[in-house]
Structures are given as structure tokens and as C-alpha cells.
């Protein structure tokens, strides 16, 4: 998918919502629990209910890997339910030496047909560049994450910069705004001002709104790019588990609709 296609959908559907399919078997609605392929059925209904009100879906691989090989099949099958024109992200946070990262890129871009994959920058340029070689795909680099542990290293100073700022400055030279994005946690909305000085034109994937405490209005205020928006705001638990009854999909839709018009 191309950057312009993402912007077009944001403008047309009046939202920058990314629905996070972090589907946890233990949190499914009661009437689905214990059924074979409950997770797939749940994902299907969530997608049907929310696809008009979002720009992207993000599948966190951890929630599927813990199911083994069947989890990988469910990821792939879930992708098939996502309508064309919606951006798909494998939230995998991968990264390894060059020939190995190339295998990960193959896994998510070829073996499965994700539009984007999240990567960890710790190992540096040659751990990320193999992902960037795929055409019409996006590599989304972790910069500042939304968890408390981000204080341990991401928010330590390297010279005048925080590590996450150094990650932005260094890695933006490896790709373009057409094939790279950054993860920036919403719990640090004020940090977005400085981040936008460093990467004024890159799309930012913003986790941590809702369950993790981030404020959506502040994220838009400090992070949006004029006309293009340039943000994908992720919400997972708030949408997926809006109800544990048979109305879960309807309630998920209502939650997704709340994001419309805010931009």
C-alpha cells in the first residue's frame, strides 16, 4: 500500500483509527469461549463491525504465537477478512542480523501479505534495511513506546538526545516517508512536539490510547500533520472488549465510531 492511499482513506472515512487485534482467548465473549476457532470468528465479527470506521488493523503476533502453528494460520486467515484498501500491520517487533531479518521480512510481507511490520531498532541499520527493500510495504520502527520500561533505555540520554530521538535521527536516513513509520506511545503526548521537529513528515503509529492512559486530543494536537494527518492511533482492548456479551461487535463498532470526527 502507498502513503497516498492511507491518507485518502483517512480523509474519506474521517478517522485515523487503527484497530489492534490483540485477541486474547481468555477475554472472548462468554458465548464464544471454548468453541473451535472462536478467535477467528471473533476477529471476523470485529472486522465486519469496525472496518468502515478505521484505516488500519494491527495484529500483535504474540497473541497468536502463544497458540502455536494454529495461531499462525489464524493470523493469515484473519488477514483475508480485512477488506482491500485497509492498511494491515504485523506488530511483531522483530529485528536480527541482516540475512535473518530478510527471513522475517519474507515471513510477514510474502508468506503473509501484511502491508507493514513493526521492528526493534536495537541492533541498528542492517537489522532494519532488509525490511525496507520490499516495494509498497512499510517498516514501522519502535521509537518511544508507551510502557513504563521505556524509561530504562529509550529515555536515557545519548549526548543531547534521548535514545529514542537518536533512533529517529539515525534511522530516518535509511528509508523515506514512503516506506517508514515510527511507533510513538501516546502516554508521552508532549514529546510529540520534539519528535515532529525530527520527523515532520513520517506517519506515526500511536499505541497506548485508552487502556494505557494516552489522551487522543493531545496526540492530535501535537502529532498531526496538516492535511495529511500522518497518524495511526491504535486502540485494542477498548474496542475488542467493549462488551463480553453477544453484542460485542455492536459495542466495538460504537467504540470505533467515537474516533470519527476527532481529527
Which of 51, 65, 58 lies closest to 91, judged by CA? 58
- Determine the number of helices (DSSP H) and then strands (DSSP E) in the chain: 11, 10
Between 166 and 253, CB nearer to its own copies: 166
Distance CA 175, CA 68 (A): 33
Between 9 and 166, CB nearer to its own copies: 166
Between 12 and 157, CB nearer to its own copies: 157
Between 11 and 237, CB nearer to its own copies: 237
Selecting among 93, 106, 172, 258, the annotated active-site residue is: 93
Q: Three-state DSSP class for 123?
A: coil
Is 84 among the residues known to form the active site? no
Distance CA 119, CA 95 (A): 6
Which of 82, 55, 59, 121 lies closest to 260, judged by CA? 55
- How near is the Cβ of 143 to its own copies at its closest, in Å? 10
Radius of gyration of the chain (CA): 18
CA angle 133/235/18 to nearest 5° reads 40
Q: Distances in Å between the alpha carbon of 206 and those of 185, 187, 214, 234?
A: 5, 9, 9, 6
- How near is the Cβ of 21 to its own copies at its closest, in Å? 13
- How near is the Cβ of 244 to its own copies at its closest, in Å? 17
Name every residue whose Cβ is closer than 8 Å to that of residue 205 and which is 6 or more positions away in sequence.
Answer: 18, 58, 89, 118, 140, 181, 182, 183, 184, 232, 234
Between 116 and 229, CB nearer to its own copies: 116
- How near is the Cβ of 9 to its own copies at its closest, in Å? 27
- How near is the Cβ of 255 to its own copies at its closest, in Å? 19
Contacts with its own copies by CB under 8 A lie at 22, 24, 60, 62-63, 65-73, 76, 91, 93-98, 100-101, 103-104, 106-107, 110-112, 120-128, 142, 145-154, 156-159, 163, 166-167, 170, 212
Distance CA 159, CA 169 (A): 13
- Yes or no: say if 72 and 111 are a contact pair by the CB < 8 Å rule: no
Question: Annotated active-site positions, please?
Answer: 93
Amino acid at each position: 500500500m502507498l502513503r497516498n492511499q492511507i491518507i485518502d482513506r483517512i480523509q474519506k472515512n474521517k478517522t485515523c483509527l487503527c484497530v489492534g487485534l490483540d485477541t486474547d482467548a481468555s477475554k472472548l465473549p462468554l458465548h464464544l469461549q471454548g468453541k473451535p476457532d472462536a478467535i477467528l470468528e471473533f476477529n471476523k465479527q470485529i472486522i465486519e463491525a469496525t472496518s468502515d470506521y478505521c484505516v488500519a488493523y494491527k495484529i500483535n503476533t504474540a497473541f497468536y504465537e502463544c497458540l502455536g502453528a494454529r495461531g499462525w494460520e489464524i493470523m493469515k486467515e484473519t488477514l483475508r477478512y480485512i477488506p482491500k484498501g485497509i492498511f494491515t500491520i504485523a506488530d511483531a517487533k522483530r529485528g536480527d542480523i541482516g540475512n535473518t531479518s530478510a527471513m522475517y521480512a519474507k515471513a510477514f510481507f510474502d508468506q503473509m501479505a501484511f502491508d507493514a511490520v513493526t521492528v526493534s531498532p536495537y541492533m541498528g541499520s542492517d537489522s532494519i534495511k532488509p525490511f525496507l527493500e520490499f516495494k509498497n510495504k512499510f517498516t514501522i520502527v519502535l521509537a518511544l513506546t508507551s510502557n513504563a520500561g521505556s524509561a530504562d533505555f529509550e529515555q536515557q540520554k545519548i549526548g543531547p538526545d534521548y535514545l529514542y530521538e537518536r533512533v529517529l535521527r539515525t534511522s530516518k536516513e535509511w528509508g523515506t516517508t514512503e516506506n517508514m513509520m515510527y511507533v510513538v506511545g501516546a502516554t508521552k503526548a508532549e514529546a510529540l512536539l520534539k519528535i515532529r521537529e525530527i520527523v515532520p513528515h513520517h506517519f506515526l503509529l500511536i499505541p497506548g490510547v485508552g487502556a494505557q492512559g494516552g489522551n487522543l486530543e493531545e496526540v492530535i494536537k501535537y502529532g498531526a500533520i496538516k492535511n495529511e494527518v500522518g497518524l495511526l492511533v491504535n486502540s485494542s482492548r477498548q474496542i475488542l472488549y467493549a462488551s463480553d456479551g453477544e453484542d460485542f461487535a455492536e459495542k466495538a463498532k460504537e467504540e470505533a465510531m467515537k474516533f470519527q470526527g476527532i481529527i
